[in-house]
Structures are given as structure tokens and as C-alpha cells.
């Protein structure tokens, strides 16, 4: 059974004076004890070691006297006496930084009888803190450098895959528009890449780190469109057990992409007009409006002008959306992009399915002369299908579906000529040469062409391209 408080005190009194002294001097931290008036009573050996001040030079002297004599720069004791509360200071002595905490001790009459100071060396801790701060600054520097590199890589990754002059001009304009907050309307047939352009504009904009919300207006049930876009309050209708934010609120500070905008009902068109005009939305069942900072990008494959004339689309909304319009030409009008897209999709699906597949000149010719009513989407889906089903290293005519296999070839088709002069290899060679002329290395060229570095090296060797000569001219060109 343990001792009670009285027994503990009685046992403590039985300790001899030299035992107390041994305990006092065995403490790792320095200890300084002063009386209620600040005169030094005790100083342990650890304090002498930490401060470099000998006990004989401070015993019987007040802290204030020692400060005035220059023995101490400052002390916690005067502060404890003045405030009657614990005081902590940092003192520099003997080349060390010392953390000094003074604690008041009161007698039974609540009068200050002692001030006990605990002194701890925090020099190493301070140095460690400084080292951490330096490393933190270094980490911040590296993070900024990494961010810059990521932005550069993103610029390469986001580079549009096109050689069509119409598309090059379109993306140049889109890049300028991306830096603004203007509303954008993207027009074009299904599958031409309207969503790709919308994504690209967001990624190149100041809002790129903010939300990007995609909404397909054609698949939202008419009775749910308003609640999905603008949200609702608790109890607004049967089943509304709690409030819910809409997609416009979710896109705050970012971008909302309204695909198939032509399918939006007239009553919702009026509410969308309010968002564009007032920059605010109102949840179903709410009295208050909510301000939103959202960039709107809309897209459609329908003629909105014709819909306005037929009364199916609000004229005022049309002009609000038509601030910066882009019309993406169909793939059949920019066939120079087909080889680039073939290369991109072969590489993309080759990575996904872990297959390295090439396209035979015969198939390439079929692709170049097919009219692609489904545009880029149809081309991409066809490439994926062929990569999946072919059992060979090369996609051949037998792999094609009948409608594509039976499509007419061009009158001047080159596929019957020797392999090194086939259309696909000739085009590949010219494309690689022109890309290398703009780059500093094969790796940079592979990023622009969106193929693996090893794949491009293999093609350069196979096509016998003198890349060293081309890259050398790049450096010496005036």
C-alpha cells in the first residue's frame, strides 16, 4: 500500500543534506533558486556548465545586481517578482541559447518566498529549426521549379494535334481567348472535337486550377434540369430532405461546359440567361440569390440561328453565348490531320492494351480517302477497335470492317509502290523531319508528336533519317 501525502513529506525530510545536494546537482537542466527578493540562494552544477557562470560569483547577489554588473544580460527573476506569475525568456550565455523559465513559489500566507528558474540549452534545437527553415525554403524553391516544369510539360501535352491551317488558326485564337473570361460558343458536327477544344481552353486559362464541370444538356431529364444546374433548398419538393448545391455552384471560380446547349428547354434558357447577365443563381425553394463566378463554354452541333428563327432558342441567349464563337471544320475538310491522329491513337491505345501495332499502307490509304461522317470520334473508335482485334503487328485490309474495306481508294494511290515510298512512310518521314527541325532533341520531338521516345528513335532508324544533321542545323540556323 502506498504512502499518503503526510508520509511522503515526512520521508522527504529524512533525506540528508548531502543527498539533496546530489539530487540537485544530478539534474540535466540548470536550476537557479532565488528568495522572494531575488537574491540567489542555490545554483546547481548544470547551470554553471550551461552558462559559464560560477556559483560563487552569483550566490547572495540579486538578479538585478548581476544584470547591472554585466554578469547576466537579463533574467526571468525580476519578471516573476513583478508579475507573481511564471515567466519564460531566451538568454544568450557562453555562446549558447538558453531557455529560462522562472516559476514563483509561495508560502502558506501566499507570499512569494522563492523563485525557481529552470535553464535548458536550446542551441541545437534553434540550429535545427534554422536548418528546417532553410530546407523549407529549398523545398518551396523546388516546388516552384517543378510547377514551372509541369506547366511547360502541360503546354507540350496540350499542344493540339493538327497540321490544318484552319485548325492552327483556330487554336491560336482560342489560346488568346483562354486568357480572358469571355463566354465561348463552339459549333461543329458531332465528333469533330468540341469537347477537346473546351477542355483545352480551360486548361490554358487562369481558371485551370479551379473546377471544370461538364454538363451534357441532352441527357438531363427535363424535370431534373433545374435542380441539377441550380440546386435546391431543403423541403423545396417532395424528397428534398436536405439542401443541395447545383452544378453552377460546383463550378464557382472555374468553368462549366454546357454540351448540346441546343437541347436546353426554353424555360431553362431563361434561367441560364440570368446567370450570364447577373452572375447569380437561385436554388429551387430559395428566396435569396447566390453569386457565382463561372466561365461558360457552350457547344452544339445544331444551327442555333435556325432554332432562333423557329422559336426554339432564345435570341437574347444566343447573342449572350455568341461572344466568341468557334466553328470546328469536319475531318473530311482537314485530311492533313488524319495521319497525325492515326499516329496519336495508335500510340495511345498501344499503351493502354500493351500492343505495338502499325498500319499497312493499304489501310492508311483507305483511312485517308474515307469521308468519316463521325469525324475524329469515329476515327478514334476505329483505331481502338483495330488495335484490339488484330492478331498481327500490322493492321491489314482484312482487319477492316466491310464498309471501310470496300470504300474507294484514291486514283493516285501509292500503296502498290515499293514499301519505302508508300504514302504512310513518306508522310511519316516528312513529318518527323519537319518536327525535328523545330526541336532541340528527339525527346522533345517525341513529346510534340505524342509518341514514346523509343518509338520515335526506332522510326528514325527505320526511315533512315539523318537526325544529327537536322538537329545540328537547328543550332546553327540564324
CA distances from 324 to 135, 248, 292, 404, 448 (A): 47, 21, 21, 37, 28
Categorize the per-residue pLDDT at 151 as very low, low, confident or very high, splitting at 50, 70 and 90.
low
- Taking residues 246-251, what's their average pLDDT? 93
Per-residue pLDDT, averaged over 145-166, amounts to 63
Residue with cell 493538327: 162
List of residues 6+ apart from 50 with CB closer than 8 A = 30, 93, 94, 96, 98, 119, 121
User: Percentage of residues in the chain with pLDDT exceeding 70?
Assistant: 86
Q: Which of the four pLDDT bands, split at 50, 70 and 90, describes residue 438? A: confident
| Listed residue (402, 348, 347, 328) closest to 370, CA to CA | 402
The confidence score (pLDDT) of residue 421 equals 43
In the sheet that 112-121 helps form, which strands lie side by side, from edge to edge? 40-43, 30-35, 112-121, 96-106, 87-93
For 240: left if phi > 0, alpha if psi spans -120 to 50, otherwise beta; the answer is beta
State residue 478's pLDDT score: 36
Task: pLDDT band for 34, please (50, 70, 90 cuts).
Answer: very high
DSSP assigned state of 81:
H
Q: What is the mean pLDDT of the chain?
A: 84
C-alpha distances in Å from residue 233, one per residue of 269, 271, 351 = 21, 17, 46
pLDDT digits (tens, 9 = 90+) for 191-217: 999 999 999 999 999 999 999 999 999
Instruction: Read off the pLDDT of residues 156-188 as tens digits, 9 standing for 90 and up.
Output: 445 577 888 899 999 999 999 999 999 999 999
* CB count in 10 Å sphere of residue 3: 10
Percent of the chain with pLDDT over 90: 44
> Would you state the pLDDT for residue 414?
41
Mean per-residue pLDDT for 447-455? 84
Rounded (10°) angle between helices 442-449 and 423-438: 120
Tell me whether strands 30-35 and 112-121 are parallel, antiparallel or unpaired.
antiparallel
Tell me: the pLDDT tens digits for 382-419?
Answer: 999 999 999 888 999 999 998 888 877 655 444 444 44
For residue 475, the SS3 value is: helix
Residues ≥6 apart with Cβ < 8 Å to 432: 445, 449, 456, 459, 460, 463, 465
Model's pTM, two decimal places?
0.57
Amino acid at each position: 500500500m502506498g504512502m499518503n501525502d503526510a508520509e511522503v513529506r515526512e520521508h522527504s525530510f529524512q533525506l540528508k543534506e548531502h543527498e539533496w545536494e546530489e539530487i540537485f546537482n544530478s539534474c540535466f537542466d540548470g536550476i537557479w533558486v532565488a528568495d522572494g527578493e531575488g537574491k540567489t540562494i542555490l545554483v546547481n552544477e548544470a547551470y554553471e556548465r550551461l552558462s559559464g557562470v560560477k556559483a560563487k560569483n552569483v550566490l547572495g547577489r540579486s538578479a538585478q545586481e548581476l544584470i547591472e554588473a554585466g554578469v547576466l544580460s537579463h533574467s526571468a527573476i525580476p519578471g516573476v517578482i513583478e508579475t507573481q506569475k511564471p515567466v519564460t525568456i531566451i538568454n544568450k550565455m557562453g555562446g549558447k541559447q538558453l531557455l529560462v523559465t522562472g516559476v514563483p513559489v509561495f508560502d502558506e500566507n501566499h507570499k512569494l518566498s522563492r523563485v525557481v528558474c529552470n535553464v535548458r540549452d536550446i542551441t541545437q534545437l534553434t540550429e535545427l529549426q534554422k536548418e528546417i527553415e532553410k530546407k523549407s525554403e529549398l523545398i518551396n524553391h523546388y516546388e516552384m521549379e517543378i510547377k514551372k516544369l509541369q506547366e511547360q510539360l502541360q503546354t507540350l501535352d496540350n499542344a493540339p494535334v493538327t497540321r490544318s491551317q484552319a485548325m492552327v488558326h483556330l487554336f491560336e485564337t482560342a489560346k488568346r481567348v483562354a486568357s480572358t473570361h469571355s463566354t465561348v460558343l463552339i459549333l461543329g458536327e458531332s465528333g469533330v472535337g468540341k469537347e477537346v477544344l473546351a477542355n483545352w481552353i480551360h486548361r490554358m486559362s487562369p481558371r485551370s486550377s479551379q473546377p471544370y464541370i461538364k454538363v451534357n444538356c441532352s441527357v438531363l431529364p427535363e424535370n431534373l434540369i433545374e435542380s441539377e444546374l441550380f440546386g435546391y433548398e431543403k423541403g423545396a419538393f417532395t424528397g428534398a430532405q436536405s439542401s443541395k448545391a447545383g452544378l453552377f455552384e460546383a463550378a464557382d471560380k472555374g468553368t462549366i461546359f454546357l454540351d448540346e446547349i441546343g437541347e436546353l428547354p426554353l424555360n431553362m434558357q431563361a434561367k441560364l440567361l440570368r446567370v450570364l447577365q447577373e452572375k447569380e443563381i437561385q436554388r429551387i425553394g430559395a428566396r435569396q440569390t447566390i453569386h457565382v463566378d463561372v466561365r461558360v463554354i457552350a457547344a452544339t452541333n445544331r444551327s442555333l440561328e435556325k432554332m432562333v428563327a423557329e422559336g426554339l432558342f432564345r435570341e437574347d441567349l444566343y447573342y449572350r453565348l455568341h461572344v466568341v464563337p468557334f466553328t470546328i471544320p469536319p475531318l473530311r475538310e482537314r485530311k492533313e490531320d488524319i495521319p497525325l491522329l492515326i499516329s496519336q491513337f495508335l500510340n495511345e491505345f498501344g499503351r493502354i492494351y500493351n500492343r505495338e501495332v502499325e498500319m499497312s499502307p493499304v489501310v492508311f490509304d483507305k483511312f485517308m480517302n474515307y469521308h468519316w461522317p463521325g469525324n475524329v470520334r469515329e476515327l478514334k473508335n476505329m483505331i481502338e477497335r483495330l488495335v484490339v482485334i488484330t492478331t498481327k503487328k500490322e493492321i491489314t485490309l482484312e482487319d477492316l470492317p466491310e464498309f471501310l474495306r470496300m470504300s474507294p481508294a484514291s486514283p493516285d494511290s501509292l500503296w502498290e509502290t515499293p514499301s519505302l515510298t508508300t504514302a504512310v512512310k513518306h508522310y511519316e518521314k516528312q513529318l518527323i523531319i519537319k518536327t525535328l527541325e523545330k526541336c532541340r532533341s528527339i525527346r522533345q520531338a517525341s513529346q510534340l508528336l505524342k509518341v514514346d521516345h523509343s518509338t520515335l528513335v526506332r522510326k528514325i532508324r527505320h526511315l533512315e533519317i539523318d537526325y544529327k544533321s537536322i538537329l545540328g542545323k537547328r543550332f546553327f540556323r540564324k
